[in-house]
């Protein structure tokens, strides 16, 4: 394979990556703003891990995919769930025990990295979602940055500028290839 073919493949690859990056940034920003929090994708919610309580299952700063639960009373020991605490915060911990009473299902939970069980039982109606075993390490830091006003501007504008700049370089190279005499004579007079 000659150098020109390799350069064309590389050029196409870089352009595709920059374009996909731009599309991804637009998706993250719009999805975050539309949901009022974490982005959603194909029915899954993407949650940012803010503490190390579930390490090594997932690390701080990771993104995890959770699926809203249809029947919060059907969860079992070992499931990792996201639930709403009394103060309104969301927590993702593992179910260590299922407690069924006549009219109520409750869950004892614990972070994998915590020594003690969570102090309060989780009522089934407070369970928001179940972890789907999908984790993307460190992307949470980026998502949090992208949700800020500066981050939103940078994540939308920077890939666009890079794509435009790279397109300009590609066009200039193509023009140089089409008319090498013109570019050579311009270089000699300069």
Active site residues: 51
Which helix (H) or strand (E) element contains residue 129?
A: strand 127-136
Measured CA to CA, the distance from residue 38 to residue 90 in angstroms comes to: 12
Partners of 109 in the β-ladder:
95
Q: What is the number of alpha carbons within 13 Å of residue 154 lying toward its C-beta?
A: 10
69 CB-near residues (< 8 Å, 6+ apart): 75, 81, 127, 128, 129, 130
């Amino acid at each position: 394979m000659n150098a020109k073919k390799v350069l064309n493949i590389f050029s196409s690859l870089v352009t595709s990556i920059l374009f996909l990056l731009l599309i991804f940034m637009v998706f993250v920003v719009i999805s975050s703003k539309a949901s009022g929090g974490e982005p959603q994708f194909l029915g899954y919610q993407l949650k940012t891990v803010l503490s190390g309580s579930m390490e090594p299952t997932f690390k701080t700063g990771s993104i995890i995919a959770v699926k809203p639960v249809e029947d919060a009373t059907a969860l079992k020991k070992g499931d990792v769930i996201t639930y709403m605490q009394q103060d309104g915060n969301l927590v993702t911990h593992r179910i260590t025990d299922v407690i069924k009473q006549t009219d109520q299902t409750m869950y004892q939970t614990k972070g994998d990295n915590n020594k003690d069980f969570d102090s309060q039982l989780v009522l089934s109606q407070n369970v928001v979602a179940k972890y789907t075993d999908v984790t993307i390490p460190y992307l949470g830091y980026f998502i949090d940055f992208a949700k800020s006003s500066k981050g939103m501007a940078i994540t939308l504008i920077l890939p666009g500028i890079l794509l435009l700049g790279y397109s300009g370089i590609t066009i200039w190279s193509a023009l140089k290839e089409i008319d090498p005499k013109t570019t050579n004579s311009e270089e000699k007079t300069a």
